[in-house]
Amino acid sequence: MTNGSSSQPEGHTCRMARRYDSRTTIFSPEGRLYQVEYAMEAIGQSGLAVGVLTREGVVLAAEKRMSSKLLDTGKAAEKMFKIDDHIACAAAGITSDANILINYCRVSSQQYLFRYDEPVPMENLLMTLCDTKQGYTQYGGQRPFGVSFLFGGWDSQFGFQLYESSPSGNYAGWKAQAIGKNSKAAQSILKTDYTDEITLQAAQQLVVKVMAKSLDTTALSAEKMEFATVTRSADGQVIYHVMEDTEIDKVIADTEIPVDPES
């Protein structure tokens, strides 16, 4: 038998893949949902987002990608969103998909408050959101949302918390996590430098260090990243604060960023 008689025609593999990625509900022979993997790939090509949990609060940061200096962004953050008075999140992926889910979370949070007269627990909100996201991987005629979130906040049950939500409908609690482009390199730094006793200020500096090593830039500045914190005041009120450029520049200046020998 010649080699040609046993080989498959060129493009056969691609045609086989198309049988299983044309519908959200079709599993491949390996048990994979390609549409979900495509959504994850879209997130992997988007700006980096990082979250760090401390005993004093949660630090959220995201890469800011300005398409033009003429764009008027106003005072609204590009990748940071306030869900409720005690919950905020950072998004990585398709912003339009994120806007839909953010509005859904806000409505769900207010419905819980109206029904039970108390703020929604963070994990309860995550479960509601992820049930919706999972539904878009189960029924035909729709695609998964191409966005992941890092939720940071506080509730009376578990205190400060940090969660990641993925397009598949999975979610998990983290002490530190990164999503988006170069997230693996960022996670490697977080694994090395994170400690359970880390302070809020040290967490901000750790995020700056992660951003400096993960972003495609030679000089890190406030124009290239967004920062937000979720903390509590002395009287127990949860405070969501989006840091100004001057505050971010100060954190960058106070951070010792190791120099890469190869650069």
CA torsion sign, 250 to 175 to 145 to 143?
Answer: positive
Q: Which amino acid is at 249?
A: D
* Chain-centre distance for alpha carbon 27: 26
pLDDT at 13: 45
Q: Please state, as a whole number, how many other Cβ atoms lie within 10 Å of the Cβ of residue 70.
A: 6
- Give the residue from 58, 68, 91 showing the smallest Cα distance to 166: 91
pLDDT at 20: 67
pLDDT in tens, the chain (263 residues): 444 444 444 444 445 456 667 667 777 777 777 788 888 888 988 889 999 999 999 999 999 876 666 766 655 567 899 999 999 999 999 999 999 999 999 999 999 999 999 999 999 999 999 999 998 888 777 888 999 999 999 999 999 999 999 999 999 999 999 999 999 999 999 999 999 999 999 999 999 999 998 887 777 888 889 999 999 999 999 999 999 989 999 999 988 776 655 54
Those residues whose C-beta lies under 8 Å from the C-beta of residue 187, and which sit 6 or more positions away, are: 177, 178
Q: Which amino acid is at 36?
A: V
Facing residues of 241 across strands?
229
Strands (E), the chain: 49-53, 57-63, 80-84, 87-93, 147-155, 159-165, 171-173, 176-179, 225-232, 238-242
State the burial class of residue 249 (Cβ atoms within 10 Å of its Cβ: 0-12, 13-18, 19+): middle
Structure tokens belonging to residue 148: 């992941």
Measured CA to CA, the distance from residue 233 to residue 220 in angstroms comes to 30
- Give the residue from 71, 74, 103, 105 showing the smallest Cα distance to 87: 105
Q: Which amino acid is at 34?
A: Y
Measured CA to CA, the distance from residue 89 to residue 81 in angstroms comes to 5
The full set of domain ranges for the chain reads 34-65+72-254
Total H helices, total E strands in the chain: 8, 10
Question: In this structure, which topology does domain 34-65+72-254 adopt according to CATH?
Answer: Glutamine Phosphoribosylpyrophosphate, subunit 1, domain 1 (3.60.20)
What is the C-alpha radius of gyration for the chain, rounded to an integer number of angstroms?
21
Q: CB of 82 within 8 A of CB of 69? A: no
pLDDT at 4: 46
Q: Please state, as a whole number, how many other Cβ atoms lie within 10 Å of the Cβ of residue 248.
A: 21
